[in-house]
Amino acid sequence: MATAAETAVMRRAITLAARGLGATSPNPVVGCVILDASGEVAGEGFHQRAGGPHAEIHALREAGERARGGTAFVTLEPCNHTGRTGPCAQALTEAGVRRVVYAVSDPNPQATGGADTLRAAGVQVEQGLLADEAEAGNTAWLTSVRLGRPYVLWKYAATLDGRIAAADATSRWITSPEARADVHRLRAEADAVVVGSGTARADDPQLGVRGVEGVTQPLRVVVDTDATAVRPGARVLDGTAPTLVAVADGAEAGHLPAESVLRLPRAADGQGLDIGALLAALHGRGIRSVLLEGGPVLAGAFVAAGAVDTVVGYLAPVLLGAGPPALADAGISTISQALRLDVTETVRIGPDLRITAVPVPARKGN
Ligand SMILES: NC(=O)c1ccc[n+]([C@@H]2O[C@H](COP(=O)([O-])OP(=O)(O)OC[C@H]3O[C@@H](n4cnc5c(N)ncnc54)[C@H](OP(=O)(O)O)[C@@H]3O)[C@@H](O)[C@H]2O)c1
């Protein structure tokens, strides 16, 4: 049974893990705190980027000899495999750590088994401390392992009456500077930012992260079936971050840099590109989390494909009365098909409201 102090240590490890969001894919975010034999903090670490040392290694380095006889708190089961770095279970054993407390088991078949290796080496192992919090911190990666596609967070900014642009298509700016800064944090935590050709045409967005220090810029993706929306000189091609323009197999894309063209099959219903193929292609490139920034037509296609895992709506205390709604056709024509969500958080951001919600699994008789 963990003490309150141990729970606080695991919470610290979860906070550390979050610092890696947006930079570790295809790996998870992981945090680790090592206490020495007397219970003092001896070392801390988090997984900073794929290919770099794992959280446990950073913490062990900081702890040095003080790890001997100590306890390691890790947000994810220590890995058991030699990838680009050595197995952490072995490193913990060799450092003389006496006890390992981890929050969430590793579902990755290649990496799992760390707990067994530790036990076999005589280390005391406990699992489950703050498992829900640690899982929430790793939602994107865990979802991608479970579903075999990137986790998708759809974000929109709307007026209180649900409009994302005015009737004349002007949409800058519906929400406050505070809310827009918060969107840059979401971008920083994502591996890729995706918009449709309609948004590219209307706004010429740059899609990079601004105002967040030390960030790994996300891959920018425009879904532009016929390669007509992203033209040479578009801000998304400014070279400050990698960009992919997803186009149909036969589209004429000679005006785009060859390395930026991602060819995909058209959707079976003829409306744009196949969303499943897009997500599979991104997953194949190591993308584990996608921030879908709209617009409403593309978001509707993602909802119809069952490919929205979290919705974040920024609602501004503004009324427009006309203009496009946040979500266009999502293949839902009657109330029994409505996609029901659970609100997981509401936060006031400046004058606006940020609502986070996740789909609830369909209930019988709904
Ligand atoms: N306030 C906000 O949060 C926010 C966010 C984003 C955009 N906006 C506003 O939204 C407006 C643009 O919205 P929009 O709905 O017209 O554009 P959109 O959703 O960005 O792009 C829609 C286009 O994406 C392409 N597409 C490719 N594959 C698709 C698929 N499987 N299903 C559906 N579409 C697919 C289609 O055009 P092709 O097939 O021809 O490529 C489609 O017309 C602008 O006014 C913009 O300012 C507001």
**200 alpha carbon to ligand 1 midpoint, in Å?**
8
Q: Is the dihedral of CA 127, 128, 133, 135 positive or negative?
A: positive
The pLDDT of residue 107: 86
Cβ atoms of 150 and 144 closer than 8 Å: yes
**202 alpha carbon to ligand 1 midpoint, in Å?**
9
d(CA 57, CA 37): 18
By annotation, the residues acting in catalysis are 56
Q: Which of 197, 204, 271 to mutate to test the pocket of ligand 1 (most atoms within 8 A of CB)?
A: 197
Q: In this structure, which residue's CA is closest to atom 17 in ligand 1?
A: 198
Cα 333 to Cα 38, 98, 328, distances in angstroms: 63, 59, 12
Q: How many CA atoms lie within 13 A of 185 on its CB side?
A: 10
Q: How many CA atoms lie within 13 A of 70 on its CB side?
A: 26
Residue 69: both structure tokens together: 């006889």
Cβ atoms of 45 and 58 closer than 8 Å: yes
Q: Which atom of ligand 1 is nearest to the CA of 156?
A: 3
The Cα angle at residue 280 between residues 233 and 292, in degrees rounded to 5:
55
| Chain CA centroid to CA 117, Å | 30
Per-residue pLDDT of the chain (366 residues; tens, 9 = 90+): 789 999 999 999 999 999 999 999 999 999 999 999 999 999 999 999 988 999 999 999 999 999 999 999 999 999 987 666 678 999 999 999 999 999 999 887 776 789 999 999 999 999 999 999 999 999 999 999 999 999 999 999 999 999 999 999 888 889 999 999 999 999 999 999 999 999 999 999 999 999 888 899 999 999 999 999 999 999 999 999 999 999 999 999 999 999 999 999 999 998 999 999 999 999 999 999 999 998 999 999 999 999 999 999 999 999 999 999 999 999 999 999 999 999 999 999 999 999 999 999 765 544
d(CA 291, CA 183): 10
Residue list, ligand 1 pocket, CB within 6 Å: 156-157, 164-165, 169, 171, 174, 195-199, 202-203, 223-226, 267, 271-273, 275, 293-298, 301, 324, 328
**34 alpha carbon to ligand 1 midpoint, in Å?**
48
Residue position matching structure tokens 């009365």: 321
- Count of CB atoms situated within 10 Å of the CB of 189: 22
Cβ atoms of 16 and 44 closer than 8 Å: yes
Q: Which of 164, 187, 220, 282 to mutate to test the pocket of ligand 1 (most atoms within 8 A of CB)?
A: 164
**111 alpha carbon to ligand 1 midpoint, in Å?**
39
d(CA 10, CA 30): 11
